[in-house]
Structure 1
Amino acid sequence: MSRSERLTAALETLDRAFAREEPFPVTGCTYCYGDQHFALLSGPLDLVPDDLVSSVAGEVPDHWDAFPRLYRRLVPRIVRPLVTGRLHVDEELIASRLVQAGWTTWDASLTEALRDVWSAWWQSTLHTHPAPVHIRATLGSVTVATDSLRPWLDTWAATRTSSADAHLADLVDDVMSEADVTDLRMGFYDEYAAAPELLGWLLTEVRDRVTDTRLDDPSIHEYLRTVARRSG
Structure 2
Amino acid sequence: MPRSEQLMTALDALDRTFASEDPFLVTGCTYCYSEQDLAELSGPLHLIADDLVSSVAAEVPDHWDAFPRLYRRLVPRIIRLLVTGRLHVGEELITSRLNQAGWADWDLPLTEALRGVWSTWWQSTLQTHPSPVPVRDALSVIAVSTNNLRPWPNTWTATNTPAADAHLADLVADVMYKFEITDLRMGFYEEYDATAELLGWLLTDVRDRVIDTRLDDPFLHASLLTSVEPHSGQHLGQHSTQ
TM-score range, shorter chain: over 0.9
Pairing 1:96–2:96 present: yes
Task: Show structure 1 runs of 4+ deviating over 6 A.
Answer: none
Pairing 1:76–2:76 present: yes
1:180 CA drift (Å)? 4.0
Tell me which residue corresponds to 1:175: 175
Q: CA RMSD in A?
A: 1.1
**5 Å matches for 1:179-218?**
180-218=180-218
Amino acid paired to 1:53: V
**5 Å matches for 1:1-232?**
1-178=1-178, 180-230=180-230, 231-232=232-233
2-side partners of 1:215 and 1:62: how far apart? 43
Structure 1 residues 120 and 54: alpha-carbon distance in aligned structure 2, compared to 1, 3 A threshold:
same
Provide Cα deviations, 1:27-70, integer angstroms capped at 9, x if missing partner.
Answer: 00111112111111001111111111110000000000000000
The TM-score normalised by the length of structure 2 is 0.93
2-side partners of 1:102 and 1:228: how far apart? 29
1-side partners of 2:205 and 2:47: how far apart? 47
1:179 CA drift (Å)? 5.4
DSSP 3-state at the match of 1:9: helix
Amino acid paired to 1:7: L
The TM-score normalised by the length of structure 1 is 0.97
How many residue pairs match? The answer is: 232
- For structure 1, the residue ranges without an aligned partner over 5 or more in a row are none
Tell me which residue corresponds to 2:240: none
2-side partners of 1:59 and 1:50: how far apart? 14
1:226 CA drift (Å)? 3.0
- For structure 2, the residue ranges without an aligned partner over 5 or more in a row are 234-242
| Alignment check: 8 A CA contact 1:178 1:184 kept | no
- Between the two proteins, what is the percent identity of the paired residues? 70
